[in-house]
Amino acid sequence: AQTVTQSQPEMSVQEAETVTLSCTYDTSESDYYLFWYKQPPSRQMILVIRQEAYKQQNATENRFSVNFQKAAKSFSLKISDSQLGDAAMYFCAYRSAQGGSEKLVFGKGTKLTVNP
């Protein structure tokens, strides 16, 4: 079974600075998807960024980028120019690309605090 590990229960960053959230995963599959979801106090899950395992190029979405190291099974999220609105719980998630295995496996989450 796949597992996702987030080793940082809490992180803090100064507004406008850069922060990196760590995520590692374990799988025997070669094709899969990785995601970072944000859960603000409203508790609505919001997709931040995704990465297809077959793509070598790291995904980027504006201020958010990932460092995907497939061999190391590492998938970290970098938030640049942090804003107060970035404060939230961040969950790393794995999904198999095999048909019939659509469920997401989540890490335990990292609580990000942004200090003004």
Q: Which two tokens stand for residue 71?
A: 């061999």
How many alpha carbons fall within 13 Å on the CB side of residue 51?
Answer: 26
95 binds another protein (CB under 8 A): yes
The minimum distance between CB 103 and another protein, in angstroms, equals 6
Are 82 and 16 within 8 A, CB to CB? yes
Q: Which of 7, 29, 40, 47: binder of another protein (CB under 8 A)?
A: 47
Q: Choose between 17 and 101: whose C-beta lies nearer to another protein.
A: 101
Instruction: Establish if 108 lies at the interface with another protein (CB under 8 A).
Output: yes
Quick check: 112 binds another protein (CB under 8 A)?
Answer: no
* CA gap 48, 28 in Å, rounded: 25
